[in-house]
Amino acid sequence: MDRRKAAAALACAGLCGHAFFLPISIAGMQIALVIAAAGVLLTPPRPLSTPLDLPALLFVALAILSDLVAPSGAPPLAEATLWRSLLGFFVVTHGLRLLRDDAPVWLAACAAAGLGLASAVGLLQYRTGIDLVHLLGLRQHPALVAAPGVAGRFGAMGFFTSRLTFGHNATILICFLGGSLAGGALPRRKALVVGAACALSLAAVAVTFDRAAYLALGVAAAAVVAHVRRPRIAAAMAGIGALVLVHPGVRSRLSTAFSESANSDRVFIWARALEIIRDHPFRGIGFANYPHVCGAYYDRVDPHFFMRTWAHNLFLSTLAEMGPLGLVALLWLLYSAFRLALRSASRFAPGALAALCAWLMIAQFHDVIYDTKVTYALWFALAAARSAWPGSTQATAG
């Protein structure tokens, strides 16, 4: 086997594995990505450039710099590298260039297979509380949480340990696959299978009772409808989305999405984030340092408040940790990502746009930039929009 064929084989195996494991296992998706990266390094495609190179490099550089000048010192290395999921975009993008033009179709099918499996487990978990990962001996303690507002049921978590992580991850993949279906990216037989996986996953997301996921699905559906301009697709999306409202628990959770009393914890967190920003207006407290700094601010108001992670808002967390320059870098990265999706000629572009809109909506209420299980899925979707399927040699201008 010559070098080019070996590189293509590694890229194909790695990318298919990465796509399948996206909704299942962080270890699996990362190991598969390393295999794909080996293929890219074996015979790097030329030129090695994408529209996200400079904004991604600037964001990472400023994250490192913010830690080097942080008043409280740098966090542990494992916490300060949570932006590593950005590498996924570049590996998938360049790995696809080693393969046939229709490779994204197979990757979408692999992602749908993993999503369908994870969703089936999540639906079973909702009814029984079962944790297959624990039963297989791969997790020491079972992971389960009571379903909010539904007595005797459990929030769907799939193979993860958080219903929110599963709900966010599945939402990004549903949006990518659903938008790609709307864009006509998949042949008929694969479209039917992928559509069935999306329908199953919608049911699983419904029983995560994740309000941000509900809102994200609505925003993404509107973006797809506006982008593809197909009335039948709009009607179908509206009908499918309305089905999840049949569940009384879902209706109850959705009704509290914008209730101040039901979201008093977020009001508290956002108020403390503004205090941190006020005290560190220029250089911030250092990327990934928020959990190490916020305690002093929380204790002054409520020492018993337990949710001490980040600011539960992408822009507040970034401004607090990296200052105004970091926020500008983030905005440039997001602008470049939207520009990539909107300018792409690939039929996967509507899926990438939907995934990006959904991720950004979730990011208004959760810190998904630190949740690599979710953000890997976003970069995967955007990389698919860089593919040359169908048509020209390069599907994305610039």
User: Does residue 294 fall inside a structural domain?
Assistant: no
Own/partner pairs for 241-250, CB < 8 Å, 24+ apart?
241/202, 241/217, 243/202, 244/202, 244/203, 244/205, 244/206, 244/214, 247/206, 247/207, 249/147, 249/148, 249/149, 249/150, 249/153, 249/207, 249/209, 250/206, 250/207, 250/209, 250/214
The pair of three-digit structure tokens given for residue 181, joined into one six-digit string: 């279906």
- How many whole angstroms separate alpha carbon 123 and alpha carbon 167? 12
User: Does residue 88 fall inside a structural domain?
Assistant: yes
Residue 247, pLDDT > 70, answer no
- How many whole angstroms separate alpha carbon 50 and alpha carbon 30? 21
Of 129, 221, 204, give the one whose Cα is nearest residue 166.
204
pTM score: 0.91
4-15 mean pLDDT? 95
User: Residue 44's CB: how many other CB atoms inside 10 A?
Assistant: 13
27-44 mean pLDDT? 95
Determine the pLDDT at residue 392: 33
User: Does residue 193 fall inside a structural domain?
Assistant: yes
User: Does residue 191 fall inside a structural domain?
Assistant: yes
User: What are the tens digits of pLDDT across the range 306-363?
Assistant: 888 899 999 999 999 999 999 999 999 999 999 999 999 899 999 999 999 999 999 9
User: Does residue 68 fall inside a structural domain?
Assistant: yes
388 neighbors 394 (Cβ within 8 angstroms): yes
User: What are the tens digits of pLDDT across the range 19-32?
Assistant: 999 999 999 999 99
User: Does residue 355 fall inside a structural domain?
Assistant: yes
38-57 mean pLDDT? 92
Pure H helices in the chain:
3-21, 26-42, 53-68, 77-80, 86-96, 103-128, 132-135, 163-182, 188-206, 211-228, 231-243, 248-255, 264-279, 290-301, 314-343, 349-362, 372-385
Amino acid at 129: G
- How many whole angstroms separate alpha carbon 309 and alpha carbon 283? 20
Residue 6, pLDDT > 70, answer yes
Determine the pLDDT at residue 393: 36
232-239 mean pLDDT? 60
The pair of three-digit structure tokens given for residue 244, joined into one six-digit string: 């999840």
Amino acid at 139: R
Of 144, 182, 150, give the one whose Cα is nearest residue 166.
144
User: Does residue 291 fall inside a structural domain?
Assistant: no
User: What are the tens digits of pLDDT across the range 104-121?
Assistant: 999 999 999 999 999 999
124-152 mean pLDDT? 88
User: Residue 73's CB: how many other CB atoms inside 10 A?
Assistant: 10
32 neighbors 15 (Cβ within 8 angstroms): yes
User: What are the tens digits of pLDDT across the range 348-394?
Assistant: 999 999 999 999 999 999 999 889 999 999 999 999 998 766 533 34
User: Does residue 393 fall inside a structural domain?
Assistant: no
Determine the pLDDT at residue 237: 59
- How many whole angstroms separate alpha carbon 254 and alpha carbon 252? 6
User: What are the tens digits of pLDDT across the range 261-293?
Assistant: 667 788 899 999 999 999 999 999 999 999 999
The pair of three-digit structure tokens given for residue 394, joined into one six-digit string: 């390069």
Domain that holds residue 116: 3-267+304-385
Q: How many domains does the chain have?
A: 1
